Amino acid sequence: MNRRGFLRNTAIAAGALIFGRTQSAVAASPKKIIKASKFPVGSSRKFVATNGAPAFLFRTKSGVFAYSAICTHQGCTVDYLKAGKKLVCPCHGGSFDPFKSGKPVGGPPERALDKILVSIKSDWIVQS
Ligand code: FES
């Protein structure tokens, strides 16, 4: 290997090392969504997931859970209707039950909403 090749390979290796550290640092810090003390049992709210997509967070006596707000039919954004306790899609009338694993309960969707992993850590609800 000549000098130019050595320098190029060294630069690539250094870049990979720095990029790898940055990636692991990002993965190691969970995204804070809301303080747990400000989100009591029975609460629900929209938030932006780490991938930038809209999502819904819920808290019940059994804990916290969340779903992507992207409809599994054709990708419209669902909204939570508290009165009916359903996540409803405005595009074709699909609906999902957030208290039964986000499964479809009406309209054309055949697949449940994607789950988003959340947990409570040090009084924060975080996306893991
Ligand atoms: S995109 Fe949601 S029901 Fe069609």
We report the CATH number of the domain holding residue 99 as 2.102.10.10
Domain extent, residue 60, equals 31-127
How many structural domains are present in the chain?
Answer: 1
Classify residue 124 as exposed, middle or buried by CB count within 10 Å of its CB (0-12, 13-18, 19+). Answer: middle
User: Which of 74, 78, 110 maximizes ligand 1 atoms within 8 Å of its Cβ, making it the mutation to test the pocket?
Assistant: 74
- Whether this prediction's pTM lies above 0.85 is answered by no
Is any ligand 1 atom within 6 A of the Cβ of residue 94?
Answer: yes
Give domain status of residue 42, yes or no. yes
Give domain status of residue 5, yes or no. no
Give domain status of residue 12, yes or no. no
pLDDT (tens, 9 = 90+) of the chain, 128 residues, equals 555 544 444 443 444 444 444 444 445 689 999 999 999 999 999 999 999 999 999 999 999 999 999 999 999 999 999 999 999 999 999 999 999 999 999 999 999 999 999 999 999 999 98
Which residues are within 8 A (CB) of 43 and not within 5 positions of it... i.e. 6 or more apart? Answer: 58, 59
Is any ligand 1 atom within 6 A of the Cβ of residue 88?
Answer: no
Nearest atom in ligand 1 to 92's CA: 3
